[in-house]
Structure 1
Amino acid sequence: MEIVKKKIRMSRQRSQAMNQITLEEDLNVPDSKADVTGIIQHRAKVRVEESKIMENQILVSGNLEVWMLCLAEGEQHPVYRLQAKLPFSEKLNLEGAKPGDNVSLKWKTEDIRISLINSRKISIQALVTFEASVEELYDTQAAVEVKEMPDVSVRTKKIEPLSMAVQKKDIFRIKEEISLSSNKPNIGEILWDSVQLRSWDVRPGDGVLDIRGELFVFVLYAADDENGSRQWIESALPFQGQIDCTGCRPEMVPDIEVTLAERTLEVRPDYDGEERILQLDAVLELDIRIYEEDTVQILEDVYAPSKELTPVFGEESYESLLIRNYAKSRISDRIRISENSPRLLQICHCRGEVKVDEIAKTEQGIKMEGAIEISVLYITADDEHPFALVTGMIPFSHLMEAEGITSECRFHLHPQIEQLSASMSGEEVEIKGTLSLNLFAVRIMHQNCILDIEEKELDLKKLQERPGIVCYVVQPEDTLWDIAKKYYTTSEHIRNMNHLTEEIRAGQKLLIVKSAVLHTAS
């Protein structure tokens, strides 16, 4: 007798850890730069240079890079950009971790505060969160077939497991150029820039992943003219391409996260040698998990008229797809400019970042609450303070339908800003946008599976004591399978003996002949 088993490849989180670190730095303004009278805008990025896995620990080191758009004293050069690097080296206690493990490491800047100590020194304080987890692949299995035993009878049960087909990290490089329109002066110096990833989508194909999306670029620059005028441009750069992905097929189920990992903007000369081209180089990081949805008939019970078969059961866990859902949520609000802020003359650029406060499971599905952190850079009516920033938080709440979700379900919810715009409305800025939400949710199923079958010879004495022919009255809870197993025969033999063409019903009389007795006598 040979037992055929089905293996289901799964991924699980063996351990996880979270740590927050506070970074502080006092930045001295370079001698070549004018005195600073204020900080208009800032942005920060965590750059991990090394992550080293040790026994029960992971060492993370790198820099928090901070860029600041500074308001300078004097009218000749009213704004300029400064950059600072805050180094860090942190150990995270990660129980069970060891060299060679597959560790997922994520980070984010929770809070950053920048203030002037004086006109030549800037205080930078930041709170950075690191999350690490050890992930491992493992196989769960269940018996699906019995071979080399011709008279075996099996009862099966259908399950729909989700098996891990591909798990890896990859990158996608983007190289684009932005040419200045004819009414814009040449670029002298880039003062500020912003690159946002929007509307990304990744779908599996035959051995590839098809990726598309948009990079929204803003650049504020000092023109190469007599007055060094301040100019800006905005451009939406669509992209699409393919990434090799062995083992991937179109019908598979993706759970992929895309982030903008690196990007650089450089000024390049055009064919006439004038500084009128911006070259963008960007790197997208993809955290790829692709699953294969399957339908499997596993063995629920077995017996044979000629042998005593005893199934050995064990509980196995597997995942089953609950839902993949994609939804959009519109946002709209107004942000009032404070009385102490310079008067708004013209909007330059609007930027938004999704901040998730809470994700909760409800009876109807998964509810996400949070806010869009908005920053709007604008031109003022004050020549000594030509640029200013207005910020605000636009709250949102959205329910993703996921019928049947329970506390044991596992899910990933990927929110992203798809569209965002800002317009003037008196002393307010009107914000409109679209938030897209991508939900992937699975059920954790527990199943009593046959792992082995013990086989031994029948007790002939016990069999001979039982009647060879029985007239059986079907009980309400009976199935043909249970009756056949009880009397050491087969469902097919009972059907043929009683000329059955329909399912049995309570009270029906069946004539049963033990196949085991016939087999032994022969």
Structure 2
Amino acid sequence: MLQGALTNPISYDRFVGGEDSQALIESDVIVPEDMPDAINVIAVLGESVINDVVESDGKIQVDGQLKLNIIYVADKDKKLAKINKSVDFTHFLEIDGVDSKCKSIVNCRVEHVDFSLINSRKMNVKAIVSVYGRAFAKEKKEAIVGIQGDEGVEYLKKTIKLANIVGQNSAETFLKEQIKISDGEPNVSKVLKVDMVIKPDEPKITDNRVIIQGSVHVYIVYEGDSKDEYGYEECDLNYANFIDVPGALSYMNANTYERIIEKNIEILPDESGDNRMIDIELVLKTDTIVTEKDETEIPVDIYGINRNVEPVIEKIEAISQQGRFKSQAIFKENVEFKNNIRRIIDVVAYPVLSDYALKDGKAILEGVIDYNIIYIGDNGNPMSYKDEAQFKTFLDVPMDDGDLFVDLKVTHITYDIMAMKEAELKFVVDATVDAFKISKYDVLIDAKEAEDVRSEENRHSITIYMVQKDDELWDIAKRYRTSKEEIIKVNELKDERILAGSKLIIPNKI
């Protein structure tokens, strides 16, 4: 390194890579001894939960759990019955360059569920779980910021933008609520289905902490005491907690990733002894990543006027911008059944993201909504209808390029029977996109000085130079070993702007 060089470390986050992949999880399910035989499986609700993430050489190991709620028709009274089962899974995201020092964000969602009845006591379930993750590495580079006794040395300085990860952590929040069945709704025989939508508020940061709050909307579908009798209840569970993140300060930015990792739903009697109370207990896990936006000016080139100082430049790739963008869209689908329907009990839906791209300042998302309608047919028995609906939506993302981390949720479904064999569905789809812009920067990491023999073109006291297209004043001054200020002064320029085709007087020192 050049004697007298002054250096300063530049810390930045490098985007290592990412992968969007799918895990196929298959399991046979045995009907418990105390439950009736099955004559038909009509719906399977699948939820995926990540329990642990481990970064190692070239891969990210994701350990998770698929939670299944299987709804079937019992053979005796043709009423609905349900079985809950959990299936552990391990999936690997193959990402070159990942090691144990990397940090990552990982998420998963169920995209499709197939089911079949093998016999009256056994059924098979296959689920496709989308697992997607992004990996980042913390890097440090020593950059030259000056030279002692730097008379006759010129620097080109540029401002670079960095989005550094300050820290990440997680916390669990326990939520509990007891709701009373509304007047006019039937007593509860069994809970068939529970939908939960997490609605987080914007996190706030204080010194070394991220404050989280929001609500979980719970929608319950249950079976009443009589056949063909179903009830619905919904409520909101508010939550507030904090996550310790050392180094976090109020001006920084925090992104959170929420999921329900445990839930317990219990039917309770009211004061009259009727089953008209539902006790809800949830465990919400929230992961957070705190980032800091930084703009810093560093020398990216150097040369000497009286000394032969040559730069040693290295290119780095750094995350220069990070942002979270959200949208909500409604998609309609008209359904025509093969037979008459008396009523719709509920709809199970999974969003399937087939393609996404960043174009013209927008993130374009395309895919299908895989749905299953649970309904009562004209014979009075529970039935199901499966199909998919196309969707395409977009979000405003003010970046010209970058990597996208996309999360989709069907947060609300409404349905109306239009005719005996026709219904209209409306799906509300929430999209969250974390966008990472990756920029390449020149960093001056060293400078060398050698004995200098000035070229003939630089031995003249004055040179006339014709400005070429894309010329910068810095490049011209460096080529002729003079300073930008001297060129501006001699040519009486107002600033550094120069036009192609114009002539410049270049003052050279002999």
Q: Which runs of 5+ in 1 are unaligned?
A: 518-522
**Would you say 1:435 and 2:429 are equivalent positions?**
yes
Amino acid at match of 2:277: I
How big is the shift at 1:450?
1.2
Q: 2:440 aligns with which of 446, 457, 460?
A: 446
* Paired residues, number: 497
Alignment of structure 1 residues 382-401 onto 2, 5 Å: 382=379, 385=381, 387-400=382-395
**Would you say 1:241 and 2:240 are equivalent positions?**
yes
For the 8 Å contact 1:197–1:260, the answer to whether it is kept is: no
Cα deviation digits, residues 285-306 of structure 1 (max 9, x gap): 4454443333332323223445
Q: 1:343 aligns with which of 338, 341, 344?
A: 341
Amino acid at match of 2:240: G
Give the structure 2 partner of residue 354 of structure 1.
351
How big is the shift at 1:158?
3.0
* Alpha-carbon separation, structure 1, partners of 2:23 and 2:220: 31
How big is the shift at 1:335?
1.7
How big is the shift at 1:146?
0.9
Cα deviation digits, residues 197-228 of structure 1 (max 9, x gap): 155454453442544354231130445xxx69
Tell me: CA distance 1:455–1:203, structure 2 relative to 1, closer, same or farther (3 Å): farther
**Would you say 1:83 and 2:81 are equivalent positions?**
no
* Alpha-carbon separation, structure 1, partners of 2:366 and 2:167: 31
Give the stretch that moved more between structures: 155-164 or 372-381: 372-381
**Would you say 1:196 and 2:191 are equivalent positions?**
no
Q: 1:425 aligns with which of 418, 421, 430?
A: 418
For the 8 Å contact 2:326–2:432, the answer to whether it is kept is: yes
* Alpha-carbon separation, structure 2, partners of 1:86 and 1:117: 19
Amino acid at match of 2:417: M
For the 8 Å contact 1:191–1:222, the answer to whether it is kept is: no
Tell me: CA distance 1:60–1:402, structure 2 relative to 1, closer, same or farther (3 Å): closer
For the 8 Å contact 1:257–1:414, the answer to whether it is kept is: no
* Alpha-carbon separation, structure 2, partners of 1:435 and 1:144: 50
Tell me: CA distance 1:203–1:474, structure 2 relative to 1, closer, same or farther (3 Å): farther
* Alpha-carbon separation, structure 2, partners of 1:268 and 1:166: 43
Give the structure 1 partner of residue 155 of structure 2.
154
Amino acid at match of 1:355: V
* Alpha-carbon separation, structure 1, partners of 2:407 and 2:51: 26
For the 8 Å contact 1:79–1:191, the answer to whether it is kept is: no
Give the stretch that moved more between structures: 202-211 or 445-454: 202-211
Please provide the CA RMSD for this pair. 4.4
- TM (norm. structure 1) is 0.76
**Would you say 1:370 and 2:361 are equivalent positions?**
no
Q: 1:5 aligns with which of 3, 8, 11?
A: 8
User: What SS is found at the alignment partner of 1:161?
Assistant: strand
How big is the shift at 1:418?
4.0
Alignment of structure 1 residues 226-375 onto 2, 5 Å: 230-237=229-236, 239=238, 241-244=240-243, 246=245, 247-248=247-248, 252=252, 256-268=256-268, 276-305=276-305, 307-321=307-321, 325-339=325-339, 343-345=341-343, 347-360=344-357, 365-375=362-372
Tell me: CA distance 1:144–1:333, structure 2 relative to 1, closer, same or farther (3 Å): farther
Q: 2:26 aligns with which of 23, 27, 34?
A: 23
Amino acid at match of 1:416: K
Amino acid at match of 1:420: I
How big is the shift at 1:67?
2.6
* Alpha-carbon separation, structure 1, partners of 2:497 and 2:60: 63
Cα deviation digits, residues 360-386 of structure 1 (max 9, x gap): 455675432212233344455655x2x
Give the structure 2 partner of residue 520 of structure 1.
none
* Alpha-carbon separation, structure 2, partners of 1:53 and 1:27: 35
Cα deviation digits, residues 32-66 of structure 1 (max 9, x gap): 33333333332234567777888778887776543
Tell me: CA distance 1:307–1:140, structure 2 relative to 1, closer, same or farther (3 Å): same
Percent identity over paired residues = 17
Tell me: CA distance 1:303–1:270, structure 2 relative to 1, closer, same or farther (3 Å): farther
* Alpha-carbon separation, structure 2, partners of 1:70 and 1:466: 89
For the 8 Å contact 1:204–1:249, the answer to whether it is kept is: no
* Alpha-carbon separation, structure 2, partners of 1:159 and 1:61: 38
Cα deviation digits, residues 284-337 of structure 1 (max 9, x gap): 344544433333323232234454322111121123338754333221122223
How big is the shift at 1:193?
2.4
Tell me: CA distance 1:148–1:269, structure 2 relative to 1, closer, same or farther (3 Å): farther
Give the stretch that moved more between structures: 270-279 or 435-444: 270-279
* Alpha-carbon separation, structure 2, partners of 1:153 and 1:184: 81
* Alpha-carbon separation, structure 1, partners of 2:312 and 2:123: 67
Tell me: CA distance 1:336–1:2, structure 2 relative to 1, closer, same or farther (3 Å): same
Tell me: CA distance 1:130–1:398, structure 2 relative to 1, closer, same or farther (3 Å): closer
**Would you say 1:38 and 2:29 are equivalent positions?**
no
Give the structure 2 partner of residue 126 of structure 1.
126
For the 8 Å contact 2:102–2:138, the answer to whether it is kept is: no
For the 8 Å contact 1:332–1:432, the answer to whether it is kept is: yes
* Alpha-carbon separation, structure 2, partners of 1:98 and 1:67: 37
Give the stretch that moved more between structures: 128-137 or 305-314: 128-137
Tell me: CA distance 1:109–1:229, structure 2 relative to 1, closer, same or farther (3 Å): closer
- TM (norm. structure 2) is 0.78
Give the structure 1 partner of residue 461 of structure 2.
470
* Alpha-carbon separation, structure 1, partners of 2:91 and 2:480: 69
Q: Which structure would you say has the larger Rg?
A: 1
Tell me: CA distance 1:372–1:254, structure 2 relative to 1, closer, same or farther (3 Å): farther
Give the stretch that moved more between structures: 351-360 or 8-17: 8-17
Q: Which runs of 5+ in 2 are unaligned?
A: none
Give the structure 2 partner of residue 114 of structure 1.
115
For the 8 Å contact 1:301–1:311, the answer to whether it is kept is: yes
Amino acid at match of 1:78: K
Amino acid at match of 1:338: K
* Alpha-carbon separation, structure 2, partners of 1:266 and 1:412: 36
**Would you say 1:138 and 2:138 are equivalent positions?**
yes
